[in-house]
Chains A and B, each alone.
Chain A
C-alpha cells in the first residue's frame, strides 16, 4: 500500500521531476526487457534514455548491441540454425514420399551464417526504430551506475557523460560462462557457436541444459559428428523426467553420441584438432568444443557495489516482487536478476515495471504456468508442473495421462521416433497442473495449452474440446484413460 501511494505521488508531480532529472528513467541494456520497459514507460509519458554497447554477434564486456541476447545471440539466431538443421532430416523423409533427390545434397554453412547475420542486423535496426518511434533516447556506450539517481555513460570515443534519472533500470542480461577446465580457452560458448567461420565436422558439447541439446541437434542435423557430455543421468534437469528420457532417446536416434554422467577434464590443442579427455579417461578429437555450462548475470562492470545494490551469491541483482532493488530508485529485470531466464518473462517484467512505476498500477509479474520450449530436434515444450513437481506439491492424488505415438508423417517416412505427450492432473480438483510434449511442433502446440492451464482449466474441459483431425495436438484433448494414479500421502521430506 505504501508503495502504491509513493508511486501515485510520483505520477502526480510530473513538473517536479522534469526540473530535477535529465530523465524519468534511464535504462542500462537494450535487450528484450530493457527495450520493452523503455517503450512502455515512454508510452506512459515518461522521458526515457537507454544505453547499449556497440553491436557485435559475440558479446564481451564492451560489445553487445540493441536487441540483446535474444535477437543477436540467443533465441532468434538459434532458431534460424534449428530451421537450417531441420531440413537435413526433412530431406531424408522426403524420399519415402516419392521425391527423387541426389545422393549428395550440399549444405553451405557460410551462406546460412551470412543470412543469419543479415537477419539479426535487420532486427537490430527494427529494435532501434521501435525505441526511436516511442521517443526513447538511445545512447551507444557503456553505462555505469554512479549514484541512486545518476548514470555515467562511457561513449565509444572514451568520453564520459553523466545523466541524472529519477529511476534507473538495470537490464544488462547475462553471458555464457566457461567452467574451469584445463585448456578451457580452446573451447567456445554459444555466442561463438552461432558465428563459427566453418561448420565443424566433429563437435563436442559439454552441458545438459537446453543450450547444449539445441546445439547438439543443430550440428547433428547439419551432418557433423556430435558427442554430448553431461553430468546427470539425463539431460535437461528440471524438466519432467519422462520427457527428459525421450529427448535423450531422440538425440541418440538422430545420431548424437550421448555420454551421460561424464564430464571433460582437459582440452589440448593438437595438429588434428582439439583433444578432449573425459573423467572416464576417454580421449576424443574435435574441431569444436562447446561449453554450454550455464550463464552468469552481467553485473561486474556496472559499479553496483559503489551505490550499494545487493547481489545474490551468483552475482544476480536482488529484487523484490516488483523488480525493485534494495535502492528504491534502482530496478532490475531480465536475466540480470536470474529469476526465470526467458525472453517473454523479461518482456513481462519490463511491462510490469513500466506499469508499476509510470502507469500508476503496481503490478507483480506472475511466474506460474510460464510455458517454455527447448528447440532440440524434435522440440520439447512444457507448461506448469512436471510429474515430479506435481507429486511433491499436490495434496491429493495425482493423475498422469500419457500418450506415446508415431506421428502420421513417420508412417510413410519410416522415421523411428515417437512423439510423447503428458498431462498431469490434480485428482481432487480435476485441474490440469502440467503439460509436456516432445515431438514435432511441440512449441507451437503448447502455447494454446498454456492459456488453458494459466486459467485453471480442468481435465474435463480438455476432454470436452473436440479434436482437430488429423493433427498431433488433438492427442491432448483425447487422452481418455489415466496412465497412472499416484496416491496422496506419499512421504514428503519436510513434514
Chain B
C-alpha cells in the first residue's frame, strides 16, 4: 500500500543523502522552494498538497522563522508521526487539514503485533475495539438463541459455531478498515511510510535506515499486551493472539480481572468454550464502582463462567497430550487447551531512540507529557496509550485533535479528561461516566446514591436470570450528577447520551424533568425518585439508611 503512495522514490538513497547533508534548503528564501521541493521527488506528488495550500503553509512557516534569531531551518515535514493508530492518524489528518505537511510511519500489517509488525489503524482497529466487538457480536448470539426460545423460536438442533468463518470474516473486515484508514490519510495529504520509526535527534526520524527531518515529531506508538515472566509463559497467549486463533479454545484459562479479561471471558463463554477466569483479587474490574464489580461478576457467573478468585498464576505446564495446566498459589488446574494472560498492557517505548534524545519516561515506561502532550523535548510530542493517561481510543482521538490544534491552528488546546465515559463489552456490558461511589464520597463527602436493580422486560419472557443494574451518584450540595454506572444490555449505547448531560454538569432535577421513553431500560435513569442511600460526612446533616427506606416505601 505504501508503495502505491509513491514512497519508493522518497526513500531513494539520493534523497536520504540530500536530507542528511542539507540541513538547510538549497534555496531557503525562494518563495517557491517548498512548493518546488516535492517536485524534485517526482512521485511525492501523489500525496502532496495542492500547490496553493502548500504554498500558503510555507509562507507562514517562513514568516514565523524570521522572528527567531537562529537561521530558519527547513524540514521535510512539519509533523512526523510515528505510529498510525487512532491517535496518530487523527493528529496527522487534522494537522494536514490545518495546512501542515505531514508524514506518518507505521509497521507492516499483522493481526498480532510485535516489534516489527503493526499496521495502519493500530490496536483499536486491528487487535482491540473493533475485532473484539465483532467477536462480542458473534458470541452474544448463543445468549440470543436461548432468549429466543422464550419468544417462541425453536431450533431442531443446537446451533453450532464455526470459528474459522468468524475469524475469516473478522480479518476481512479489519483489512477493509485498515484500507479505509490509509485512504483517509491519503485524502488528507499525509505521506504514509511503512517501516519502523526511530528518533535520531529532536527533529529527525529514521525509518528503517531512511532519514526524515521534521519540525515536530509525534510519538503515538500505543501499547502492547504484557505477559509476566513465569515458568511456561511461552505457552500463554495474549489478547492479540486470542483474536486470531486458528481454532476455538475448548477450555481456556484467562488470567486477569481487567476489562480485557472479562471481555474475552464473555466471548469464549458465548462461543461455548469452557471458561475459567483467574483473578488475584476477590472481584473483577478493580477501579470500577464496587457494586458494578459485584453485579457483573454475578451475571457472568450465571452465564457459566467459572471464577477462581485470589489466585495468582505461578507456572504453566505443558503435558504430553499437549494440554496445559495452570499452577497457582492455591493449586493446579489441568486440561486447558489455551491459557490467556490479560494482565495489563505496556507502552511501546522500547527501541524508539527516546533515551538518546532525552525524552523522559515514567517508571512504567510511558512517555511523560504535559497537558498539551508535549514531552521533555520541546519538538517531540506524544498522544494515546504510549502516554498511559486514559487508554481509550476516543481519548487518543481527543489528544490527537487537540495536538493538531495546538501545533497548527494557533489554538493551544488541552484535552479535557473530566467525565470521559467508557464501556466494558463484557456480557452483560458495562458503561460508566464520572466518579464511582467510592471516589465521589472521597471527593465530595455528602452524596446521594440512587440505584435500580431490575429484570428487564426481555428477561421476564426469556426466563433467563438477566438483570440490569443502574446507579446515579448525586452531589448532595449542588444536586449535580457526578457519576453514572450501568451494567446490563445496551449499557454502552445508553450511557453516551447521559455522558453529554454529565459533562454539561446537569443536576438530578434536570434528569427528573426529562420524560422517559417507554418501554426502554434507559428510562429508569430518569425515573429514579428516591435515593437508595444518602451518604453524609456529618451524620447530623443526613438521615440514616433506615429512615430513607421507610420514606421510600412507595
Q: Which residues of A contact B (CB under 8 A)?
A: 39, 43, 70, 75-76, 79-80, 83-84, 87, 90-91, 94, 96-102, 104-112, 115-116, 119, 122, 133-134, 342-345, 347-348, 366, 369-373, 381, 408-409, 411-412, 441, 443-452, 454-455, 457, 461-462, 464-474, 476-477
Contacts and interface: CB of A to CB of B under 8 A. Distances in A.
Nearest to B513: A454
B517 A447 contact: yes
B133 A466 contact: no
B461 A445 contact: no
B304 to A, nearest CB: 18
A90 B137 CA distance: 11
A348 B397 CA distance: 40
Contacts of B301: none
Contacts of A469: 124, 129, 392-394, 423
Nearest to B494: A444
Interface residues of B, number: 80
B460 A451 contact: no
A450 B510 CA distance: 10
A451 B514 contact: yes
Contact of A455 (B145, B152, B162, B510): B510
Interface stretch (B238-246, B257-265, B277-285, B498-506): B498-506
B329 interface: no
Given A444-B520, A468-B423, 10 more contacts: A80-B151, A80-B457, A98-B162, A104-B156, A408-B130, A444-B521, A446-B497, A447-B523, A450-B497, A455-B501
Contact of A343 (B124, B152, B421, B518): B518
B82 interface: no
A111 B151 CA distance: 7
A87 B151 contact: yes
Contact of A119 (B133, B460, B493): B460
A216 B395 CA distance: 42
Contact of A461 (B494, B495, B503): B503
Contacts, number: 272
Contacts of B160: 99-100
A75 B518 contact: yes
A95 B170 CA distance: 13
Contacts of A97: 134, 137-138, 141, 165-166, 169
A98 B169 contact: yes
Nearest to A122: B460
B155 A452 contact: no
Given A101-B155, A448-B495, A409 B137 contact: yes
Nearest to A116: B461
A443 B517 contact: yes
Contacts of A107: 152-154
Contact of B461 (A96, A115, A134): A115
B260 to A, nearest CB: 15
21 contacts: A79-B457, A80-B151, A83-B151, A84-B152, A94-B141, A94-B145, A99-B141, A100-B162, A104-B156, A109-B152, A133-B553, A344-B518, A348-B515, A371-B515, A411-B173, A441-B490, A455-B501, A455-B506, A468-B493, A473-B495, A477-B500
Contact of A448 (B392, B419, B522): B522
Contact of A465 (B431, B460, B490, B503): B503
B422 interface: yes
A98 B153 contact: no
A447 B506 contact: no
Interface in B131-177: 133-134, 137-138, 141, 144-145, 147-148, 150-157, 159-166, 169-170, 173, 176
8 residue pairs, one from A and one from B, having the closest CB atoms: A448-B497, A473-B496, A447-B522, A448-B498, A98-B166, A112-B152, A449-B497, A97-B138
A244 B21 CA distance: 64
